[in-house]
Structures are given as structure tokens and as C-alpha cells.
Structure 1
Amino acid sequence: MSISERIETAITAALRRHQGKSAPPRLGAALYYACTPGGARIRPTILTSVALACGDDQPRLTDAAAASLEIMHCASLVHDDLPAFDDADLRRGKASVHRAFSEPLAVLAGDSLIIAAFEGLIRAAEIDPVRAIQLMAILSERSGMPNGICAGQGWESEEKIDLSAYHRAKTGALFIAATQMGAAAAGQDPEPWEELGARIGEAFQVADDLRDVLLDEEELGKPTGQDDRLGRPSAVSELGVEGASARLDAILAGAIASIPSCPGEAMLAEMVNRTAAKLAPRVKTDRPNS
């Protein structure tokens, strides 16, 4: 079974547990809508790739971790799109959850997905209790305060924003979770994997800042020009298009150099290069002449 097949199977199984005859059908439908069809599934793919590089001796635990991480990511997107935050009409090329189902159901869907993410890891504790607890600790640290995606969203309400802390929390946190959870699922020390996740996360954020400026809504699958409209800090506003593009190249090179020694080190280098190919070429292709 391929990595993508493993991920989709695990996510479907996790969501199915939140359906039932006594469950409100529209909220149940909103959970599926928020998570399927998926985007690139970059975070769970990184998690599974790291686990494979470290031996993947408990694949069921790896799959549960990958599903939980992606479900948490999807929950954050549902909340990000709400009128109180981005007020976005589109996500992944279709109507955002609050547009398709109503704002109250979107709030409940996001909340339910957060709970589902941790429930999946609780259920996985029967496979290996110690590793499952470690996975829960990593996911909670990278989802809440002071270093998780909640902190990232919170920076947007501050008068003065620390751009590095903002990007590391808002975007980098779940990428750090991906590399650390992949190592933990395979029974390895997660700490040496933080830098790789942070670098991939920073690359993703810089690329997203560039795409927000250079691509149109149809290509991006969500509203464009959000950073400028909402007055957010971005790599483009700070460095310009050319500077941000150069920064992206440097980050990706550093990411490969930061891969910890492991049996699948070469495979992970290829994975980072594939990620770079998804991020960089379209930005460079669409870059306006200077």
C-alpha cells in the first residue's frame, strides 16, 4: 500500500467513528466535507516518510498518527476560514465549511475534528501506550499555546508581530509535529527532528506568501491577496518577490542538510526535493518579469 493510500484509509476510518444513527447528520457531513477530498496531505506524508526512514516497526501507530495530524490541520483550516478570522469563501477549490454548512456548524465541525484527532491517538494507545502518549504530547504542544497553531493565530491580534515566531507557530508548528511524530511513532527520539520540521514549515510559509501574491484564485483554490487585505506580515512584504524566492531556495537547501542520521536518510532527501518541486517551480514560472 502506498503512503497516500495508507493516509486516506486511516483518515476515512477515523472519521467513520464519528458517524452513527444517533449523530446529527449535517454535522457528520461537515466533518467529511472538511477533510475530503484532501489537499496535498503534505504533513501526514512527511510524518509517514520519517517513520519509514526510521524503520516503521509499528505501521498501525504511524497511520493513526498521520490521520490525527491531518485531522488537526483540517480543523485549523475550518476555523481559519470563519468570518472572525479570514472570512474566506473558498478552501481547496470549493466553498469553505461555514459557507457550505453555516457558521455554527463550522465552529462545531472544527471543534469536533480537534477532539477526533486526539481520540485517534487514544485508541492507538493499545498498540504502544508509551509512544501514543508521546504522540499526544507532541500534537498538543504544536496545536496550542505557547508554540502551536493557536499561538500563530493569536499573533494576528497583536499590535506588534514577531514575524519569525508568527510563522513558526502558525505554519511551522504542524510541520515540526509531522517530523517529530514520525520519529516517535517509530520509537525514535523526536527532538533531533525539530529542525527539519521547522525548515520545511518555513519553506511552506514563504511559498504560501509568494503564491498569495502571484497566483490567481482558481490556481490557489482559495482567495488570493489575503495577506495584503488583512494587513498581515509576510515574506513578500518584508523581502519582496525576488528576496522571498531566494529565501525559499535557501531554506530548502538547509532542510536537506538538517536531516538526522537514519536508515532512510537518502529517501527523506528525495522527499524534501519533491516537496520543493511542488512549491518552487510554479512560483518561479508565475514570477513577473523584473
Structure 2
Amino acid sequence: MQIADRIEQALDRAVALAQGPGAPPLLASALRYAVFPAGHRIRPQLCLAVAGACGDADPESADAAAAAIELLHCASLVHDDLPCFDDSALRRGKASVHAEYGAPLAVLTGDALIVHAFATLRPVAARDPSRMATLLGIVTEAVGSPGGIVAGQAWECEVAVPLADYQRAKTGALFVAATRAGAAAAGVDAEPWRMLGDKLGEAYQVADDLRDVLCDSDELGKPIGQDAVRLRPNAAAQLGVGGAKARLEDLVRAAVESIPDCPGAADLRMLIKAQTALFFPKQLAREAA
């Protein structure tokens, strides 16, 4: 089965459980609305790619980890769009959850997705309790404080926002979780895979900063120029477009070089190079061609 199909099926199973008998109808609808149709699914793809490179000894655990990480990402988008944060009416080319269902239900939808991400890992315990414990630790680190996505959102409430700390928590945490969880699900040491996730997470954030200043909302499927409006750190603003592009290229190179020795290392390097080429905004890709 292709990675994309595995991800969508795992997410469909996870959301269906959250929509089970007795669930409030509007919440059940909002949960599915927040997760489908697919975004780029970069984080779960990375998780399964690493698991595959390491032998994919336990596909069920890898699928559960990938689904959990994507549910957390979707939760972060729901909360990020709320009126108290970005007040964005658009996400993935359609109305954001709070625009469609109202802010109170959007808060609850994001909360439910976070809780259900952990519930998605529950079946792993029946097969391998120690693997379950490792995956729980990895996912927990990616969510809370001091360096998870909640901390990333909280940095936006501070007067002074260090670019590196902000980006590492806001974006990098789930990339690190994806690479580490993929390795752990395959039964290998997760720690050597931290650097790959860290570099890819920063690369993705730099690319997103570039898109925020170079692209339009139709291309991105969300409002543009939000960093400047809300006075948030932005690599393109701090380094210039040329400097941010150079930084992005350095990060991609470092990510590829950081891949640990494993049975599928060569194929994974090729995949990472191909996927990260898509990070570059079209304008910069044309200039580089």
C-alpha cells in the first residue's frame, strides 16, 4: 500500500472512532472537517518514510504514530486560526473551522483532536508496551512545554520572540516527532533521527516564511502577510529573501546529510531531496531552475 493511502486510512479510522455513538453531532462533523480533505500530510509521510527506511517492522504502530502526529498538526491549525490568535477565515482553501462552526466549537475540536491523537496510539500497547511508552514520550514532548507546539503558540503571546526558539517549537517539534516516532515504531533507536526532523522542521518554517511574503492567498489556501501584521519573527524579513533562500538550501543539505545509516538510507535521501524541492515557493524554484 502506498504511503498516502496508509495515512488516509489510518486517519479515517481515527476520526471515525472520535465520531462514535453518542458524540455531539456538530463536534463529530467539525472533527472530520478539520482533518479532511487532505493537506500536504508532510509530517505523517515523513514518519512512515523513516519507518520504511528502518525496515517497517511494525506497520500498525507506524500508522498509529503517523495518524497521531497529523491529528496534532490539524489541532494546531484549528487553534492557530481562532479569533484570539490569527483570526483566519481560510485554511486549506476552505473556511477555517471557527468560520464554519463558530469559535467555541473550534476550541473544542482542537482539544478533542489533541486528546484523540494520544488515543490513536492505544492499540500499540497490546502488541508492545515498551514501544507504546516510547511513542507516548515522543508525542508528549512534541505537544507541551518547554518545546512543543503549545509552547510555539505561547511564544506569540510574549513581547520578545526569539526566532529560533519560536520556529523550533511552533513547527519543528512535530517534524522531530515524525522522524523519531517513525524510527521507534520500526523498533530502532529514535534519538539519532532527531537531527533530521529538526533540520526539516526549520527548513519548512523558512519556506513558509518565504511563502508568506512571496505568494498570494489563493496559492497558499490561507491569508498571507500575517507575520508582518502581527509582528512575528519571519526568516525572510530578518534575512531578506536571498538570505532566507540560502538558509533554506543549507537546511535541506544538512537534513539529507543527517540521515543515519539504515537499510533504506539511500532511498530516503532521494525522497527527502524530492520532497524538499517542493518547499521552495514557485518564484524561487523558477529562479533556481
TM-score, normalised to structure 1, is: 0.97
Cα distance in 1, alignment partners of residues 25 and 139 from structure 2: 28
Task: Decide whether aligned partners of structure 1 residues 286 and 156 sit closer, same or farther in structure 2, where only a CA change above 3 A counts.
Answer: farther
1:56 counterpart residue number: 56
Q: Aligned partners of 1:49 and 1:21: how far apart in 2?
A: 34
> 1:229-271: per-residue Cα shift (whole Å, max 9, x none)?
1110110111011110111111101111110111110111112
The 2-side partners of 1:191 and 1:108 are apart by 33
Are 1:27 and 1:105, in contact at CA under 8 Å, matched by a contact in 2?
yes
Q: Which amino acid aligns with 2:227?
A: D
5+ residue gaps in structure 1? none
Q: 2:3·2:45 contact (CA, 8 Å) conserved in 1? A: yes
8 Å CA contact 2:207–2:281 kept in 1: the answer is no
Alignment of 1:100-119 (within 5 A): 100-119=100-119
Tell me the SS of whatever aligns to 1:279: coil
Instruction: Say whether the 8 Å CA contact 1:90–1:96 is kept in structure 2.
Output: yes
- Residue in 1 that maps onto 2:206: 206
Q: Deviations over 1:76-131 (max 9, x none)?
A: 10000001111111100000000001111100100000011000112321121111
Distance 1:109 1:286, change over 3 A: farther
Identity of aligned residues (%): 55
Q: How does 1:176-191 map to 2 (within 5 A)?
A: 176-191=176-191
Do residues 91 (structure 1) and 106 (structure 2) align?
no
1-structure distance, mates of 2:24, 2:172: 34
Q: What amino acid is the match of 2:134?
A: Q
Give the deviation of 1:281 after TM superposition: 5.4
Q: How far apart in 2 are the matches of 1:167 and 1:50?
A: 22
Q: Equivalent residues in 2 for 1:75-224 (5 A)?
A: 75-224=75-224
Task: Please name the residue that 2:260 is paired with.
Answer: 260
Does residue 1:243 correspond to 2:228, yes or no? no
Larger mean CA deviation between 268-277 and 186-195 belongs to 268-277
1:20 maps to amino acid: G
Counting matched residue pairs gives: 287
2:271 corresponds to 1:275: no
Give 1:20 deviation, angstroms. 2.9
CA distance in 1, matches of 2:80, 2:281: 27
Q: For 1:147 and 1:153, how far apart are their aligned partners in 2?
A: 10
Name the residue aligned to 2:31: 31
Verify the 8 A CA contact 1:214 1:286 in the aligned structure 2.
Answer: no
Inter-partner Cα distance in structure 1 for 2:254 and 2:23: 47
The CA distance in 2 between the partners of 1:254 and 1:24, in whole Å, is 47
Partners of 1:127 and 1:285 lie apart in 2 by: 45
Letter in 2 for 1:36: F
Shift of 1:156: 1.2
Contact 1:215-1:286 within 8 A present in 2 as well: no
Q: Report deviation, 1:157.
A: 1.4
4+ runs deviating over 2 angstroms: none
Give the C-alpha shift of residue 161 in structure 1.
Answer: 1.6
In structure 1, what is the Cα distance between the partners aligned to 2:228 and 2:151?
21
For the residue of structure 2 that corresponds to 1:88, the secondary structure is coil
Asked if the contact 1:54/1:186 (under 8 Å) is kept, the reply is yes
Report the 3-state secondary structure (helix = DSSP H, G, I; strand = E; otherwise coil) of the residue aligned with 2:280: helix
1:146-178 per-residue CA deviation (whole Å, 9 max, x = no partner) reads 010111111111122211111111110000000
Q: What does residue 47 of structure 2 align with?
A: 47
- Conservation of the 8 A alpha-carbon contact between 2:149 and 2:173: yes
| Residue of structure 2 in register with 1:22 after alignment | 22
Residue 2 of structure 1 aligns with which residue? Answer: 2
Q: How much does 1:132 deviate?
A: 1.2
Partner Cα separation in structure 2 for residue 198 and residue 122 of structure 1: 26
- Whether the 8 Å contact between 1:207 and 1:283 is mirrored in structure 2 is no
